[in-house]
Chain A
């Protein structure tokens, strides 16, 4: 199968029906959160099947953070695996974070201290999950608001260590940018620390800037210019990948979203039209 590349859109309940009815040009794939579809019927399943008839569907989980310390939830992984098979996703992604402790779920993506202990936990969990779901898995770097390390670039080194163990990354460019602004580092330096051959997919999104300057990763705003610039920088070094526009909150009219997707397409086409930049690789 040819590797999936191009630009895609997060498939969200609020705009799903219109997106299906219009089936506009220029969408190479859509992405779903499997938690919203596992063991769920009714209109959600119908929409999912309509999406599958039109586009390749990628899956992006929210609740199997690789930093969790309790054993993986085998029952959930069984239902998840069935769903991944149903939509035939070429790969699945989860976050390099934790989302609870024991049997308690916070329903948020909480940051991990980049330490050897965490790396062991995350690597073990990553490969166990990949074995269980029986298809390629990747981890997403998250945005965070409380400092995890004296040097914020330790996060990139931590991701790279996991890559060196054999994991693939679902690189969220907006998250790198948000963290760079909140913790004061050059986001390109962060990208330069990553082996971009290990990138299977990327995310771009918008975020909120609070009055005190703190940036919160809301996925509720248009993608700002510096995030597009960082994406272009990354794509020039990685070559073509699947790039998703994430919009989860404050979802605008579909035309507005499609206009943003066209802008993403322009950036994408421009970046991959140039010869690949192979400098500054780890």
Chain B
């Protein structure tokens, strides 16, 4: 039974601590009566939360021995327990916390793989109603991207699945977006120039397309030539067709 002198708030704090502390003492469980039953709650809570993280980043999790995975989840819940009510956001919170731990792993690709899997997870559920209004693409106006677009760069080809999980060293520039028809996350490899250009769109969303191209070219120390223009037109047409780009911001906006 719940001790009568425990206020509602203190009772709730106590239960949350029973769920998330690394190793609650037997006396902590016994304080509310029926310790075995409270241990059931603890197990259910922790397993539900761990499971959604595993389902969001299955390849990363497969690379961690079970004991290491358990220890990471346990440390996460004790140090930085779930602060979102939205269940699907839990893996992202876990990923942010776990990043330094994964970076410390001897496999240099591990934290990149985690980042990549979490981006794919997020892209699938971005709310398209956050899209800005758009009209036909114009070089004189800022571009409007799909709200689902995320940029990804890595030093290993973690975006290509491998059975042996030995991801080769390879400079990767890519964007992820949600296919408007299938709603699946798609990864598109980019040239370093297009990657930088898209970064520019993220950093300076009010710049016209012409300006963003010029600034990107200048920053890269290259020049604008017909090869670049032809290549760019092809990429822009592809982006529009895939739904990566929605068009340009209307002049009234």
Q: B135: CB under 8 A from chain A? A: no
Report whether B125 and A100 are in contact in the complex, using a CB–CB cutoff of 8 Å.
no
Report whether A41 and B49 are in contact in the complex, using a CB–CB cutoff of 8 Å.
no
With contacts A42-B183, A107-B45 known, is A113 near B85, CB below 8 A? no
Report whether A115 and B13 are in contact in the complex, using a CB–CB cutoff of 8 Å.
no
Q: A3: CB under 8 A from chain B? A: no
Partner of B16 from the list A41, A106, A117, A149 (CB cut-off 8 Å) is A106
CA distance A41 to B189 in the complex (A): 24
Partner of B49 from the list A63, A107, A118 (CB cut-off 8 Å) is A107
Report whether B127 and A101 are in contact in the complex, using a CB–CB cutoff of 8 Å.
no
CA distance A98 to B90 in the complex (A): 19
Report whether B34 and A147 are in contact in the complex, using a CB–CB cutoff of 8 Å.
yes
Q: B15: CB under 8 A from chain A? A: yes
Query: How does the 8 Å CB contact mask read for B1-23 relative to A, with 1 for contact and 0 for none?
Result: 11000011101110110011000
Report whether B126 and A42 are in contact in the complex, using a CB–CB cutoff of 8 Å.
yes
Partner of B82 from the list A39, A104, A214 (CB cut-off 8 Å) is A104
CA distance A115 to B8 in the complex (A): 9
Cβ–Cβ < 8 Å partners of B95 in chain A: none
Kindly provide the distance from the CB of A13 to the nearest chain B CB, expressed in whole angstroms: 11
CA distance A243 to B128 in the complex (A): 33
Report whether A103 and B49 are in contact in the complex, using a CB–CB cutoff of 8 Å.
no
Partner of B48 from the list A44, A108, A117 (CB cut-off 8 Å) is A108
CA distance A139 to B40 in the complex (A): 25
CA distance A36 to B127 in the complex (A): 12
Report whether B37 and A41 are in contact in the complex, using a CB–CB cutoff of 8 Å.
no
CA distance A110 to B87 in the complex (A): 16
Instruction: Name the residue among B9, B90, B130 with the largest chain A CB count within 10 angstroms.
Output: B9
Report whether B183 and A117 are in contact in the complex, using a CB–CB cutoff of 8 Å.
no
Report whether A107 and B87 are in contact in the complex, using a CB–CB cutoff of 8 Å.
yes
Partner of B12 from the list A69, A76, A108, A216 (CB cut-off 8 Å) is A69
CA distance A68 to B16 in the complex (A): 12
Q: A46: CB under 8 A from chain B? A: yes
Select from chain B the residue with minimum beta-carbon distance to A118. Answer: B8
With contacts A42-B128, A100-B16 known, is A117 near B8, CB below 8 A? yes
Cβ–Cβ < 8 Å partners of A113 in chain B: 2, 8, 11
Kindly provide the distance from the CB of B188 to the nearest chain A CB, expressed in whole angstroms: 17
Report whether A107 and B128 are in contact in the complex, using a CB–CB cutoff of 8 Å.
no
Cβ–Cβ < 8 Å partners of B85 in chain A: 35, 63, 73, 76, 99-100, 105
Q: A2: CB under 8 A from chain B? A: no
Query: How does the 8 Å CB contact mask read for B193-236 relative to A, with 1 for contact and 0 for none?
Result: 00000000000000000000000000000000000000000000
24 contacts between A and B (CB under 8 A): A35-B85, A35-B86, A35-B87, A39-B86, A40-B88, A40-B127, A41-B178, A42-B125, A42-B126, A67-B12, A69-B9, A99-B85, A100-B82, A103-B83, A104-B82, A104-B83, A105-B84, A106-B45, A107-B87, A107-B90, A108-B48, A113-B8, A146-B32, A214-B40
Give me 15 other A-B pairs in contact (C-beta within 8 A), A39-B127, A102-B13, A148-B2 excluded: A35-B86, A36-B87, A43-B183, A45-B127, A45-B128, A99-B85, A101-B13, A104-B82, A106-B16, A106-B82, A113-B11, A121-B8, A145-B40, A146-B32, A146-B38
Q: Which residues of B are interface residues toward A (Cβ below 8 A)?
A: 1-2, 7-9, 11-13, 15-16, 19-20, 32-34, 37-38, 40-41, 44-45, 48-49, 81-88, 90, 124-130, 147-148, 178, 183
Q: Which residues of A are interface residues toward B (Cβ below 8 A)?
A: 35-36, 38-46, 63, 67-69, 73, 76, 98-108, 110, 112-113, 115, 117-118, 121, 145-150, 214, 216
Nearest first, the 10 A-B pairs at minimum CB distance are A43-B183, A63-B85, A146-B37, A41-B127, A41-B128, A101-B16, A42-B183, A69-B9, A113-B2, A101-B12
